Chain A
Amino acid sequence: MLKKFVGSLLATRYSLPTLGIIIVLLIWPLLVPRFYIYILSLIFVTALLAMSLNLTVGYGGLFQFHHGAFYGVGAYAAALVLTRTSLPVWVGYIAGPIAAAVAGLLIGWFCVRLSQLYFAMLQISLGSLIWAIVFRWYDFTGGDDGLYGIPRPSILSSTNNTYYFILLVLVACLVALYIIVKSPFGATLQAIRDNPQRCEAIGVNVRRHQLMAIVIATFFAGIAGVLFVILERSVFPDLLFWTLSLEIFIMCLLGGWFTFAGPMLGAAIIVTLRTFVGRHTEYWTLILGVILILLIFFLPEGVMGYLLRIGESANQRIGEAANQRIGESANRRISGRS
């Protein structure tokens, strides 16, 4: 099975670039100063977060507007177990994704009963509620100071080891997400994104499916939260603030939300921008805004979508025809109703 999986990976035309990237990532810590190791680790964490969001946004068509809340819940759950209890470290690490998935289940249960923008508004409200609790509850969560000096096992104490551990977890999660996306569940989820009404008519319990997607996505967001704790050894309420959710949403759009790996690329671009532009000006979001405007006009399918399209120029005409048809049928649907 593994042999077949690796074989099929190598068989695709993306195998060479992928292999190149893997080698660079493996030897990266040997080549650059510590700061850059840290930055890449942060990109990995954020990439996993964006990938988990894209399961709901790109594949599920859900308006998951406050995904950051679940990232924060995962991070705080791990941090609280590690600082407030004497339980073993791994309990804290497992508590993160589980707490995030439970929060996803509770909030999602309400959200899937609403559609589109109402879904988004309810999720932002409920997510902000969690933020407010964390922000205010000084005795337990440390309030706006957050929690810091969170212990980590000695094996993860060096920057390099942390880097490799995070990379390992990221790869494992990517494989898991890939399997999920390519499963019958993933296929059905994409069908729901395209046409929920039709999906109900072919015997799919749409709400249950959407809820399942949210729980899986929030579980992976929780893992990203735990990785953040391992990397930063601190948590603070900003992790749950809605602006972060917006940022990861932009990562998905920027990287290409209809591609599997696009959100990772988006995460890399935004974290890099935030780090290096943010050093020169606190108004780095201004540049982000300009990029976003350019993106909407010139790369509506995101950077990864654009790159893949160059790679498949032969299929380009088909794709454009598809988009045109989609537009037409949408128009017909609208005019048909009036």
Chain B
Amino acid sequence: MLQVEAVHKSFGDFTAVYGANLTVGKGDLVAVIGPNGAGKTTLFNLITGQLKPDKGRIVFKGEEINGLPPYEICRRGIGRSFQIVNIFPRLTVFENVQVAVLSQQRQSSNIFSPARNLAVAETNDILESVGLLDKAGNIAGSLSHGDQKILEIAIALGNKPELLILDEPTAGMSPEETAATMRLIKQLASTQGLTILFCEHDMDVVFDIAQSIMVMHHGQTLIQGKPEEVRRNKEVQEAYLGGEVDA
């Protein structure tokens, strides 16, 4: 479904991503891991268009998408959440998701019909599936950090993505929240047939739920394979033992 081939990105003298390769098949649950500063977030930003790659190809459903603006990539079926909470703080929880659903329905430029009657059922379904329905009327900025991270995912679901990219969905969460979020992600993958690409610091979580793991180090892809292969790989062990141990 998604192929990333030899993608490079540098900021001035600093090379953030130096030859990253990644394959995501339909229905997979793929994790990207690597020490801090390995280029995981940059890679995600390259895939979803927030950044443009210097070199390399990104192919989604057989079409090259590198260099397209983010909204165009989203419309092709890639939704994402962000590592640092990235919501609409002054809107309600309901409106946060509704805006995404309206965009998916191509209603964003409609200036005549009242928005409160549109996309209500779809929005409520999403809020229910992530467990935020009882907070639908709250101002998003007033939610707890954990709920805001869940809202991140809910917003991304509003676009009915085929591929959902989650950049550290559990960053800053307590262990209980992390476990609940991971259950949610697993559940979304199985019940909605979503393909999910995520990155995560908690190694137990990653090796527990991912079907395929890609390891990044200094902007490069070391290996992509099944959890057991990755666990046995020498280079991976060195990268983690040599650098900071995040696991």
Contact = CB atoms under 8 A, between A and B. Distances in A.
Interface in B134-190: 138-139, 141-143, 148, 155-156, 158-159
A306 B116 CA distance: 25
Nearest to B97: A202
Contact of B50 (A197, A322, A323): A197
Contact of B90 (A184, A190, A200, A332): A190
Contact of A336 (B84, B91, B103, B139): B84
Nearest to B95: A187
Interface residues of chain B: helix, strand, loop or mixed (majority): loop
Contact of B115 (A186, A197, A322): A186
B107 A184 contact: yes
Interface in A182-241: 182-188, 190-191, 193-195, 197-206, 208-209, 212, 216
A319 interface: yes
B23 interface: no
A322 B142 contact: yes
Interface residues of chain A: helix, strand, loop or mixed (majority): helix
A182 B112 CA distance: 9
A179 interface: yes
A10 interface: no
B70 A200 contact: yes
A329 B89 contact: yes
A202 B103 contact: yes
B89 A325 contact: yes
A39 B38 CA distance: 65
B8 interface: no
Contacts of B84: 332-333, 336
B113 interface: yes
A195 B74 contact: no
B99 interface: yes
Contacts of A326: 89-90, 141
B69 interface: yes
Contacts of B148: 329
B110 interface: yes
A179 B112 contact: yes
A311 B158 CA distance: 34
B143 A198 contact: no
Interface string A316-327: 001101110110
A191 B110 contact: no
Contacts of A322: 89-90, 139, 141-142
Contacts of B74: 200-203
Given A197-B86, A201-B70, A332-B85, 6 more contacts: A184-B110, A195-B86, A200-B50, A204-B71, A212-B109, A329-B148
14 contacts: A184-B108, A185-B108, A185-B111, A190-B95, A194-B87, A194-B88, A195-B86, A202-B99, A203-B104, A203-B159, A204-B71, A205-B69, A322-B139, A329-B141
